[in-house]
Structure 1
Amino acid sequence: MNYQNIVSLRFYLADPSYDEANVKILMKYLGDHAPARTVFCCQLLETKWKLEIEAVAAK
């Protein structure tokens, strides 16, 4: 599998200000591929983390 197999992404951002960087990274790796995306802003359990990602891929 590769990035093109991703069908859904769910992001948990520790702060809304991280969204711009998150989108830039997505564009770098996914290019024109546009899986369904959901973004939540919330307090993460690990204080050092800026984001957590949940991904679903299918063949």
Structure 2
Amino acid sequence: MAVPKKRTSISKKRIRKNIWKRKGYWAALKAFSLSKSISTGNSKSFFCPTKKNKQSKVEIT
């Protein structure tokens, strides 16, 4: 089993962790932006079929 020779510094560890977190932040931001444009109907690059007929609601008692 390979063992590192020197300990990774705290600052280097923090930098790597922040890069990893930033990637997640941008992915979430893009997903939210896409969902917002789809829900408002302003999306030009994403096709989302819509149903116009109304379904009756069934109440369970």
Give the TM bin, normalised by the shorter chain. under 0.3
The alignment's TM-score, normalised by the length of structure 1, stands at 0.25
Larger radius of gyration: 2
